[in-house]
Structure 1
């Protein structure tokens, strides 16, 4: 592992990254590896520790997807069931087709149902308002800031941009899936995560590390780049600033080792989280032809390169 660790150390030394933790294991768990490098709160000199807490951002989506599929495994809901009874705030959203000559939004009624499968595969008709000029304009006309709102309903209670099941767009639909899990289980998504991942020995996955004395001091500082490429501490609001809900699409925090435990359980299909057939289904194509086309177009776009890398 010397070459890998040298490369990571050089990346920190050259200012390419403030810190990194690399974890690995094999199928039966007989091999484990973890290495931490860099500073916990850049540019302070305190070194990062193995138990550092990362903001997971969109990596939270995997955890929420597993929680939703766990609800399906328990028979509480079906993948192709209509979610609208449980999520009436989403159900009432029309489809935004653009703006007329008077700059008024053109809104049409949705025809198709919205299913859990569509929420989990970003094919439910939604997208992030920050990624769509029509939605950004719609929000601006109402005096709202794109991507704002302390709850899932307030942040993502916005018009759809296509008929559910007929396309694909990266979106907050998994945040809605998380809200569905909460309403089906009568508990918060944070509580669901704790119960679901406990058999793996996971203790750090949470939406609220600041409420846990054992975790709050281990949360890493967020670092951004200046236009010149220099690393500087972030001083702007983050995705989680002001949140009062558990945002299943971006709000999670975890150590890398705990996140690896979840990944290992799914990849090894060890039955600790989901039924074997459910895990197998996770790796099978789920999108219609139009959805596949739009997904590939997104991945080839500058926005796709920015989001996915």
Structure 2
């Protein structure tokens, strides 16, 4: 595997397709464990600092944060702090009497709003079927909970729209645990797996902050990546965004993937781990998910699947409902983050992996191609492993 991957990724760095990357993969049988770095954590050249990519390089996880928050929420379900299907307004009064946006009718230019007639559950929040969207999330002048709060786009359970539901799940974790989400994740995910890099504000941890990768921008889809001094994401926002705010090393995040794929019971009981992968097969929801993937840009952001691939959404991410030739099989789960961090978990074969870069914009085709090649090579080597059956 190494020689082929080395050539592919070294060429990508040389051609400035990416500034650098960290790759991690494993099989649960124990015969394959791969961690390798390529290129640089920054393209900045004016300070004379060697910033080679290393296993200790800190990455903004973006929406990969959701997996950590989902695990935290399911841990709280295990502890009976709340359930997946109760009305969440017991802990989230902000969602009580929330309005639902109705489409304009009779030639009206403005939508109308009405009080929701259904309860919002944790399952809705985690599967993006609550109706909450990212409408106000970009307004950094607002407190985090206000950024997450907006009228529903549909009645809970009657559609799919990617939004702030997992952030609200993070608020639930905080309210029952008495901890900030960061403190909860460090204690209940980090400590059991020997992970020390999870944080929400790197500035609070100088040793981590100095290892933070810079963001590079590709201004033209066919062009090179470039370093920019502009701030692409907030380093010190108020509140812990369970949907997008966490940082960690790729090696540490891979420990989470491996634990869940192995179903080792360290983070979740088997029944809760099963919930991560169970696809929502409601026809209305599935239709909305498939409709979203018809848009090429949206499809790329959601993992760059071949056109027409049958998928559904589960609590832990998107699940493929058919085999991807040479890659993950039916039932495997994947997701990613804004700066082109992508992971997959395949319980059928016991394989998991993550590709980490820090390239903007989201769903970059060159990053997706590299991720796909890494995944294919992982399956080549794992299928050949002596412990694979």
TM-score of the aligned structures, taking structure 1 as reference length: 0.89
Supply the distance in 2 between the matched residues of 1:287 and 1:152 (Cα, whole angstroms): 31
Supply the distance in 2 between the matched residues of 1:150 and 1:41 (Cα, whole angstroms): 31
Instruction: Say whether 1:215 aligns with 2:228.
Output: no
Aligned with residue 79 of structure 1, among 66, 75, 84: 84
Instruction: Say whether 1:67 aligns with 2:72.
Output: yes
CA RMSD, 1 decimal: 2.0
Going by fraction, where is helix more abundant, 1 or 2? Answer: 1
CA pair 67-160 structure 1, distance change in 2 beyond 3 A = same
Instruction: Say whether 1:201 aligns with 2:206.
Output: no
Correspondences of 1:13-28 after superposition (within 5 Å)? 13-28=14-29
Match of 1:289 in 2: 283
Q: Is the 8 A contact 2:101 2:112 kept in 1?
A: yes
Cα distance, 1:213 vs structure 2: 2.1
Q: Is the 8 A contact 1:150 1:243 kept in 2?
A: no
Match of 2:295 in 1: 301
Aligned with residue 52 of structure 1, among 34, 51, 57: 57
CA pair 83-221 structure 1, distance change in 2 beyond 3 A = same
Query: CA offsets, 1:94-125, max 9 Å, x none?
Result: 11124576644411111100000110101011
Correspondences of 1:133-148 after superposition (within 5 Å)? 146-148=138-140
CA pair 287-187 structure 1, distance change in 2 beyond 3 A = farther
Match of 1:186 in 2: 178
| Deviant stretches of 4+, over 6 Å | none
Structure 1 residue runs without a partner (length 5+): 130-138, 140-144
Match of 1:157 in 2: 149
Deviates more, 1:92-101 or 1:261-270: 92-101
Cα distance, 1:93 vs structure 2: 2.5
Match of 1:173 in 2: 165
Supply the distance in 1 between the matched residues of 2:88 and 2:243 (Cα, whole angstroms): 17
Supply the distance in 2 between the matched residues of 1:285 and 1:170 (Cα, whole angstroms): 15
Q: Is the 8 A contact 2:201 2:235 kept in 1?
A: no
Deviates more, 1:293-302 or 1:37-46: 37-46
Q: Is the 8 A contact 2:23 2:35 kept in 1?
A: yes
Deviates more, 1:151-160 or 1:227-236: 227-236
Deviates more, 1:182-191 or 1:97-106: 97-106
Query: CA offsets, 1:246-277, max 9 Å, x none?
Result: 00111010101100000001000000001111
Supply the distance in 2 between the matched residues of 1:242 and 1:105 (Cα, whole angstroms): 35
CA pair 235-150 structure 1, distance change in 2 beyond 3 A = farther
Instruction: Say whether 1:119 aligns with 2:125.
Output: yes
Cα distance, 1:48 vs structure 2: 1.2
Q: How many residues align?
A: 295
Supply the distance in 1 between the matched residues of 2:30 and 2:102 (Cα, whole angstroms): 51
Partner-residue secondary structure (3-state), 1:214: helix
Supply the distance in 2 between the matched residues of 1:29 and 1:147 (Cα, whole angstroms): 45
Partner-residue secondary structure (3-state), 2:86: coil
Cα distance, 1:234 vs structure 2: 3.9
Supply the distance in 2 between the matched residues of 1:66 and 1:122 (Cα, whole angstroms): 16
Match of 1:36 in 2: 37
Supply the distance in 1 between the matched residues of 2:188 and 2:286 (Cα, whole angstroms): 31
Query: CA offsets, 1:152-205, max 9 Å, x none?
Result: 312111111000011111111111111111111111100110111211111101
Supply the distance in 2 between the matched residues of 1:208 and 1:28 (Cα, whole angstroms): 36
Partner-residue secondary structure (3-state), 1:84: helix
Structure 2 residue runs without a partner (length 5+): 305-389
Match of 1:89 in 2: 94
Supply the distance in 2 between the matched residues of 1:49 and 1:64 (Cα, whole angstroms): 26
Going by fraction, where is strand more abundant, 1 or 2? Answer: 2
